Amino acid sequence: MTKTIFLDRDGTLVVDPGYVYKIKDFKLHEGVIEGLKKLKDFTFFVITNQSGIGRGHFTEKDMHIFNNHLLDELKNHDIKIKEIYFCPHSPYDGCDCRKPGDKLAREAYKKHDIDLKNSWVIGDTKLDCGLAKKIGAKSIHVLTGYGVKHLDEVKELNPSYIAANIDQAADFITFKNEKKIIPREKIVALAERLKKEGKKMVTINGAFDILHKGHAKILKEAKKQGDILIVGLNSDSSIRANKGPKRPVNNQESRAKMLAAFSFVDYVVIFDEKTPLKLLEEIKPNIHVNGSEYGEDCIEAPIVKKYGGKIYVVSLLEGCSTTGILRG
């Protein structure tokens, strides 16, 4: 049986200025090549709604020329799409191939012996998540294309993860480092063992909802301050208490996984309290890292210093925040 990824085309693989079909407008989204390379154990299909044909904006032939260009570009990077399935109808035609209709996915399933339960749909709209639900596959919603606009409706369809782009989706799908996620009740024993081994422990905490370049930069710099980086992750309920019912976008298990996927993160521990003070008291880090918006006098400072630790302040990347991404 084949493990498959059903990829949406417009807004997911390629940038979509609206009914895209001209080669001159062809542009891959950031992270597409990197992400698809990480997913090389899967067979790729594209399933795409091309209502531009039914609405008369371009012809089927135009679409094929554009699709072939896409296939060639991916082939240049050793990425192979097995087949592209398309719906040429407008939403008013009442066909059953337009996503979230599952006719095209069923065709692929029959032809290629697909293991639907271990397959994924990646797309930027509720139509893609809706398709995943219908065929019993898992789904990842990407925030490229219409991703931000569709976010609220998509959340009701419970995708496995909401990712900034396909590269992050790939990290989520291929995640294997479960052991880095430490149950809260085991953190004291872990910290004591590390201390005995003479390891310099670094801690940092936050919500890490939708990961972005700023997060990676801070975490990398944090790791450089010692031997072992432990990330304290706010639980879902503690984020809701701080930021309101719309956050977090991703649940705590998914957020923990994505942090653990970074090579420079050694451990992730979820904490439920409003502040990380109790957690830090348990870990007694050598260094605690904080963003420059809180600085040296952050609320964590007294507890860290009480056990001989230091505060290290990193400057944040300008214009990088989850809230910023969600504004689109």
List the interface residues with Mg ion, window 112-171 (CB under 5 A).
124, 145
Handedness of CA 55, 58, 63, 66 (dihedral sign): negative
Nearer to Mg ion, 10 or 102 (CB): 10
Which position among 4, 5, 8, 168 is part of the footprint of Mg ion (CB under 5 A)? 8
Of 87, 42, 41, which Cα lies nearest the Cα of 63? 87
- Residue with smallest beta-carbon separation from Mg ion: 11
Residue 99 beta carbon to Mg ion: minimum distance, rounded to whole angstroms: 9
126 touches Zn ion (CB under 5 A): no
Question: In angstroms, rounded to a whole number, what is the distance separating the alpha carbons of residues 196 and 198?
Answer: 5
Determine, following the binding rule CB under 5 A, whether residue 20 of this chain makes contact with Mg ion.
no
- Interaction of residue 223 with Zn ion, rule CB under 5 A: no
Three-point CA angle 25, 6, 169, nearest 5°: 80
Q: Is 102 in the site for Mg ion (CB under 5 A)?
A: no
Site for Zn ion in 56-95 (CB under 5 A): 87, 89, 95
Q: Confirm or reject binding of residue 47 to Zn ion (CB under 5 A).
A: no
Q: Is 246 exposed, middle or buried (0-12, 13-18, 19+ CB in 10 A)?
A: exposed
Asked if residue 99 binds Zn ion (CB under 5 A), the reply is no
98 binds, among Zn ion, Mg ion, none (CB under 5 to 8 A by kind): Zn ion
Q: What are phi and psi of 299, to 5 degrees?
A: -60, -20
- Give the interface size with Mg ion as a residue count (CB under 5 A): 5
**Nearer to Zn ion by C-beta: 53 or 229?**
53
Picked from Zn ion, Mg ion, none, the partner binding residue 81 (CB below 5 to 8 A depending on kind) is: none
User: Is 233 within 8 Å of 271 (Cβ atoms)?
Assistant: yes
CA 162, CA 95: separation in Å to the nearest integer?
29
Q: Beta partners for 139?
A: 121
Q: Please report, as ranges, the residues that interact with Mg ion according to CB under 5 A.
A: 8, 10-11, 124, 145
